[in-house]
């Protein structure tokens, strides 16, 4: 309900800049007006979806930030079950890990918002100048933004493993970039599950976190065999 109210509030001042041309001229003038109107409707639709998308992303990253302490411990417990590695509990390190998880969630939210905004602005521009492509642009845009979001969600899950390897922030970022497909696949599962109410917040976060541990373990195992 809050997301809907925020989207409606954001759309209200934009309506004065979106006008529609009546069809009361010749055939060619009406054709031109219809083309212009299609572009305007497409623009209004894209702006609405963009607002909904951004506010929904805020909700998801808020969940990741608030659950960071639980997910960090879950990741550590999953690795212990998998490899037998035991990490000594440190309250100071726990606080530092929580701070890193929250900061990383905020950083990823900003980056994803920038990338998504660039894609949406380009799509809106194309819809205005080529309205007949609107029905092609919309599904392509949805797929692209889905994978952008999936990458950053997978990024957050893998970073819990980077913390235990005592990687710096920059080293953790480079590690995920190097293994981007693992982050993308893991985050895609989370993104799909997060579309289901309650399931995403519970099962989605758990599956994504444990899946990241399994992925990193396989990557490390492959590297050790290569040596």
Q: What local confidence, expressed as pLDDT, does residue 3 receive?
A: 59
Q: Which residues contact 141 (CB under 8 A, 6 or more apart)?
A: 46, 119, 120, 123
Rounded Cα distance, 172 and 17, in Å: 44
**pLDDT tens-digit map of 148-194:** 888 988 888 888 888 888 788 788 888 888 888 999 998 898 888 88
Q: What is the mean pLDDT of residues 58-70?
A: 79
- What is the percent of the chain with per-residue pLDDT over 70, rounded to a whole number? 71
Q: How far is CA 89 from CA 99, 146, 212, in A?
A: 16, 37, 21
Rounded Cα distance, 102 and 96, in Å: 10
DSSP code per residue over the chain:
-HHHHHHHHHHGGGGGG-----S-S-HHHHHHHHHHHHHHHHHHHHHHHHHHHHHHHHHHHHHHHHTHHHHHHHHHHHHHHHH-------HHHHHHHHHHHHHHHHHHHHHHHHHHHHHHHHHHHHHHH-GGGHHHHHHHHHHHHHHHHHHHHHHHHHHHHHHHTT--HHHHHHHHHHTHHHHHHHHHHHHHHHTSTTHIIIIIHHHHHHHHHHHHHHHHHHHHHH-
**pLDDT tens-digit map of 88-104:** 767 777 777 777 777 88
Q: Per-residue pLDDT for 209 more than 80? A: yes
Mean of per-residue pLDDT scores for the chain: 77
**pLDDT tens-digit map of 3-27:** 566 666 666 666 555 555 555 666 6
Q: What local confidence, expressed as pLDDT, does residue 111 receive?
A: 87
Q: What local confidence, expressed as pLDDT, does residue 169 receive?
A: 79
Q: What local confidence, expressed as pLDDT, does residue 39 receive?
A: 62
pLDDT band at 63 (very low <50, low <70, confident <90, very high): confident
Lowest mean pLDDT among 8-17, 78-87, 214-223: 8-17
Could you tell me if 135 and 183 are in contact, meaning their C-beta atoms sit under 8 angstroms apart?
Answer: no
Q: What local confidence, expressed as pLDDT, does residue 168 receive?
A: 81
Q: What is the mean pLDDT of residues 66-87?
A: 83
Please provide the size of the chain in residues: 227
């Amino acid at each position: 309900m809050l997301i809907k109210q925020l989207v409606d509030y954001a759309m209200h001042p934009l309506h004065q800049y979106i006008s529609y041309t009546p069809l009361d001229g010749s055939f060619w003038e009406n054709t031109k007006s219809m083309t212009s109107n299609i572009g305007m409707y497409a623009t209004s639709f894209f702006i609405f979806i963009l607002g909904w998308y951004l506010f929904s992303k805020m909700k998801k990253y808020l969940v990741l930030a608030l659950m960071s302490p639980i997910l960090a411990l879950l990741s550590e417990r999953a690795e212990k079950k998998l490899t037998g590695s035991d990490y000594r509990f440190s309250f100071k390190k726990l606080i530092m890990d929580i701070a890193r998880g929250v900061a990383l969630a905020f950083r990823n939210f900003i980056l994803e918002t920038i990338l998504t905004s660039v894609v949406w602005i380009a799509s809106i521009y194309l819809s205005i100048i080529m309205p007949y492509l609107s029905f092609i642009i919309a599904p392509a845009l949805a797929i692209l933004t889905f994978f952008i979001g999936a990458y950053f969600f997978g990024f957050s899950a893998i970073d819990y493993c980077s913390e235990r390897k005592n990687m710096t922030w920059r080293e953790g970022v480079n590690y995920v970039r190097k293994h981007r497909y693992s982050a993308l696949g893991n985050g895609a599962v989370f993104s799909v599950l997060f579309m289901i109410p309650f399931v995403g917040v519970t099962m989605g976060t758990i599956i994504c976190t444990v899946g990241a541990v399994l992925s990193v373990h396989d990557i490390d195992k492959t590297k050790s065999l290569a040596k």
